[in-house]
Amino acid sequence: MAEAAIIVLAGTGSHADRGRVFNALEATKELVENGDDVQLVFDGAGTEWIPELEDQSHDFHGLYAEVRDTVNVCDFCADAFGVSDAVDDSEVPRIDEYDGHPSVRSFVEDGYEVVTF
């Protein structure tokens, strides 16, 4: 069984960012379908995706819904990027293990392959 931490750092501002988040969602789906242990973490500008993906009319909402139980968000960055209320409304778990952020070291120490988009 593979173990992966997929970290989305891409914001919502460009076509390239849309491609990155789609690829992160698709990679997460592939891992989930194969019974792997995966955590999908929205960090930095990536936290801006939570309100977008929670919107049922968004093109990627269906894919997001398929992997939603793997989703986490950086606590500090949700506040810093102004999406704290939307994250709270979504009930996506916040991670604040290291100075308010997810701990990449913890993922590495626990044997997760860390992949960033």
- Residues (pLDDT < 50) of the chain are none
Question: What is the distance between the alpha carbons of residues 24 and 115, in angstroms, rounded to a whole number?
Answer: 9
Q: What is the pLDDT of residue 20?
A: 98
Q: Angle at the Cα of 98 (from 95 to 104), degrees rounded to 5?
A: 80
Domain extent listing, the chain: 3-116
- With respect to CATH, is domain 3-116 assigned 3.30.70.60? no
pTM, entire model: 0.96
| pLDDT tens digits, one per residue of 40-70 | 999 999 999 999 999 999 999 999 999 999 9
